[in-house]
Amino acid sequence: MEIEQFLKKLPEAYSRPDREQIEKAYRFAESAHAGQTRANGQPYFSHCFGVASILLEMDANADIITAALLHDVLIDCNVLPKTLRQEFGDPVTKFVEDVTRITALPYLSRGDQQPDERKPLVDSQVKNENKNKDDLAETIRKMLLAIGDDVRIVVIKLADRLHNMRTLNALPPDRQRKIAQETLDIFAPLANRLGIWQFKWELEDLGFRYTNPEKYKEIAENLTLRRTKRLEEVDHIIEELQDLLEKSDVKAKISGRPKHIYSIYRKMINKEKSFDGIRDLRAVRAIVDDIETCYKVLGIIHMHYSPIPGEFDDYIAAKKPNNYQSLHTAVIYSDGKPLEVQIRTMEMHQNAEYGIAAHWRYKENKQHFSGKYEQKVSAMRSLLSWSLEVEDNQELLEGMRTDLFRDRVYVITPKGDVIDLPQGATPIDFAYQVHTDIGHRCRGAKINGKLVTLDYTLKTGDQVEVLTVSRGGPSRDWLNPSLGLVRSSRSRAKIRQWFKQQDRDLNLEHGKLSVEREFKRLGLTGVDLPQLLPSFNLKTVDDLYVGIGCGDIPIGKLINRIAEQTAVSLKEEEQLIPEAPVKHKASDNITVMGLNRMQHTFARCCNPTPGDPIIGYITRGRGVTIHRMDCPNAMRMNDSERLIQVDWGLVEQTYPVPLQITAYDRQGLMADISSVLSSEPVRLVDLSLTTRQHIVKVNLVLEVAGISELSRVLARLENLPNVFEATRVNPG
């Protein structure tokens, strides 16, 4: 690792002061890290050199290469920012400080093979999954803020993570898995969002290698076994396509396109196919001079080979959110096997490989830099702005998976503009994407000229027309995740913001009504709301009502916390009375006075469900009968000495719950009810209905796993057209 060899790799366009600055940084960092080693025994400076080398391959400018060499001296070597500023100036120091700020974020694994990372994780670092998710969400939030400051900082951090992943084998297996999973969850999707394909595919493959080593090895071996034959086939295909295009006077550079292990695995999972069933393992890429030639090449290929229906994507006319542009098509080649073809210009190819980093490469002049680069940074900031509006950490993590990193759909406005949305988006999400006010006033939608419901899932190519009212605001039902009316975190943030601007007293009233309505629908009584306040970081019940009223706290989250109460108390009892783990039968879950496996039956008069407050009644010869606490039969029992304290144990079964649906009788009502039930993990046990003056009452018994599941089913049933009410039947 001689410095002379490194300096020889520097682009010729670097000036003499640039080269002197990089050489100075090389020697400064090497000296500062002297005596420090990595887990693999190499000098720690080898990591700094590796990060700089990765960025050098992207033609980064001298300041970025300098910062890469120095990126760990502040955090590891007790070097002061003042010293860096004196030696290397403000721009380099700013880069190093900002990268250090991200590296020092709590709960973010460095992966730098520091001494503390060479030890296995302790139990406390693995347990408490909810807290870990909250911590991770806060870390992601701060990383997104860094992008808003200067995206180049994040590119340096991505190069830092990539080099760490290349040398991850020196760490203990549990740390390998943790760092690799973090790479798949945060860094690889972030590279994809920035459009840096070179980083994305390698981070994904390396992350997959450590999180699922068996599957990684299986796919890698399959690729190796067929590598020679596949290369021969691709070489022949390239030669044939080159001749075909030359006959049409088209200049194109054609090359094979490698398929990466993780992308093959994702296709196997998404398409539920084996390795042999993945048909686009053979792929080529054609690079041409201009956009017009892209479409000309596409036409030539489709004239000579049969296109596979549904396998054509035009990302030139409708580019991806990360600014990726290309034509994708799949055809049946002359040997009868599928072939995937990508067609793009050289500029599109540079964007695809280097993404947003393509616009700060050293060779570009400053005028070009301040144009396209600033446009793309501005677009990135707007895409990430929603993260500042999302307060709930769990929702931020979900938003990362949907709004930012999930595949997109491209829909068309009536004027012909293309709008990109997260996969699974609804007309309401579309309305908010067009304009916040249109979202607030949305009351319906037409897809391709036909009226649809607001929970319709948009598909690429749909033409969407939003039907609005002249004034008004969003419905609180839009925030109910059980109804599936809004899928985008950005839309949810806008809706909550609207409700927050309403009067506190109005939100308090709406929140209280929502809770009372949900409790009535579920048949819940005697819920101790003050006991739940610490889990929401609130001081009063009124604050809880206001949070629910303005949408900050989904009603489903409150129901989940109520259902979790009994699980917490159970864990405490198991610690007091340790017992060998056994798989209980359906009726062995109840604990009576803290003891398991007592003979008991569920009272048919009130049909208690997990999450309900319950009480036991000692019978003669049949053990304990379990009643709901508010069951009239239990309340009328005079012999109080035979009443006994009982609690829900581990829920490993479903429980029958009687429900009643009141609706206006119409054609297709039962089909809609059946559709809801069939899409939920519940079982219909009994059903009957009565009709009077066009009003139908549907009585049914469902087997559900608990209160949370019941809440979701009732919300979906009540949202059906012409349904007035869907409630649980109370005893007595």
* 450 SS3 class: strand
* 605 SS3 class: coil
* 333 SS3 class: coil
Cβ neighbours of residue 446 closer than 8 Å, sequence gap 6 or more: 452, 464, 465, 467
Nearest to 702 by CA among 644, 654, 668, 669: 654
- DSSP for residue 391: -
The DSSP result for 478-544, as a single string, is GG-GGGTS---HHHHHHHHHHHHTS-HHHHHHHHHHHHHHHHHHHT--S--HHHHGGGGT-SSHHHH
- What pLDDT sits at residue 578? 30
Contact 252, 286 (CB under 8 A): yes
User: Could you give the dihedral angle defined by the CA atoms of residues 532, 538, 544 and 546, in that order, rounded to the nearest 10 degrees?
Assistant: -170
- What pLDDT sits at residue 369? 42
* 339 SS3 class: strand
* 553 SS3 class: coil
Query: Both tokens of residue 207?
Result: 């992350």
Cβ neighbours of residue 539 closer than 8 Å, sequence gap 6 or more: 533
Q: Among all chains, which residue has been given the structure tokens 């209280």?
A: 512
Distance CA 163, CA 52 (A): 10
Contact 731, 605 (CB under 8 A): yes
What are the strands of the beta sheet with 450-452, ordered from one edge?
A: 450-452, 442-447, 464-468
- What pLDDT sits at residue 391? 56
Distance CA 48, CA 164 (A): 10
Nearest to 96 by CA among 111, 110, 85: 85
- What pLDDT sits at residue 264? 83
For residue 563, count other CB atoms closer than 10 A to its CB: 21
The Cβ-side half-sphere exposure at 297, using a 13 Å CA radius, reads 30
Amino acid at site 459: K
- What pLDDT sits at residue 145? 60
Low-confidence ranges of the chain (pLDDT < 50): 123-128, 361-371, 379, 383, 566-588, 651
Contact 396, 387 (CB under 8 A): yes
DSSP lists the bridge partners of residue 37 as 43
Domains present along the chain, CATH in parentheses: 3-211 (1.10.3210.10), 223-358 (3.30.460.10), 384-500 (3.10.20.30), 504-574 (no CATH), 584-647 (no CATH), 655-728 (3.30.70.260)
- DSSP for residue 38: -
Contact 477, 719 (CB under 8 A): yes
- DSSP for residue 312: -
N residues, the chain? 732
Distance CA 435, CA 417 (A): 13
Distance CA 324, CA 318 (A): 9
